[in-house]
Amino acid sequence: MERRSFLTLPVAAAAMAAPTPPLAAKIRVFGMDWQVMAAEDWKVEGSGASEVLHLVTAKPQQRDPRRPTQFALAETEPIGKFTLEVEAKRLAPKGSLIIIYAWERDGYFNYLHLSDDLASKVEVHNGVFHCYGGDRVRISPKPGPATLPTEGWHKVKMTYDASRGLLDSWVDGVTSPSIKAVDLSLGAGRIGLGSFFNTGSFRNFKLTRG
């Protein structure tokens, strides 16, 4: 009798996928310790209230699964309710940045993607995305303006309430459906700053719990 293999191509591809690089190094900025893949990928300028965090190395895009890995993860307890404020500056002439929230463990987190692209034209940009052990998936609507339309600094504000799964966001005081989302599959978690595959900068970071 002929012996058949039930190993499908997607399963085989997943089995060969490279593991996510560990967050094995640390940096200190904004009065907190942050876990990163490699400390040399980041640069801290200034001190105290004038500190600026630069992501200076863009890593290749991750595939199988396709989700961001180049971010600094704050060393805090899981946070279920917070307001996060930060100023962000993207790569010129085009670029994007991300803010991680509800990080539970490797591959299980959500993130806000900030970009000069319209989500209606590039659906994997400028929105809220969910990672649950596999590829990132968009969980916010697409209508809304570009969130980082210029190369200058932009003021970002996020509020998150894990009890309702609700994320609200504003950039330069403006919100839209594309940067709001509800997700009840993840709850309290850690936060992070970074990019999918670009460089960029952050300053004036403030995290308020509750």
Distance CA(178)–CA(141), nearest Å, equals 5
Whether 3 maps to a domain, the answer reads no
- Look at the pTM and tell me if it is higher than 0.75: yes
Counting the structural domains of the chain, the total is 1
Cα–Cα separations (whole angstroms), residue 172 to 8, 125, 146, 154: 47, 18, 11, 6
The Cα–Cα gap between 125 and 13 comes to 25
DSSP letter for 174, please: B
Domain presence at residue 9: no
Question: Would you say the C-alpha torsion 134, 187, 81, 123 has a positive or negative sign?
Answer: positive
**One digit per residue, pLDDT tens: the chain, 210 residues?**
444 433 444 444 444 455 688 999 999 999 999 999 999 999 999 999 999 999 999 987 777 899 999 999 999 999 999 999 999 999 999 999 999 999 999 999 999 999 999 999 999 999 999 999 999 999 999 999 999 999 999 999 999 999 999 999 999 999 999 999 999 999 999 999 999 999 999 999 999 999
In a domain, 88, yes or no: yes
Does the residue 84 lie in any domain? Answer: yes
Domain limits for position 203: 21-209
Residue 12, domain member (yes or no): no
Query: Could you tell me the CATH number of the domain that includes residue 90?
Result: 2.60.120.560
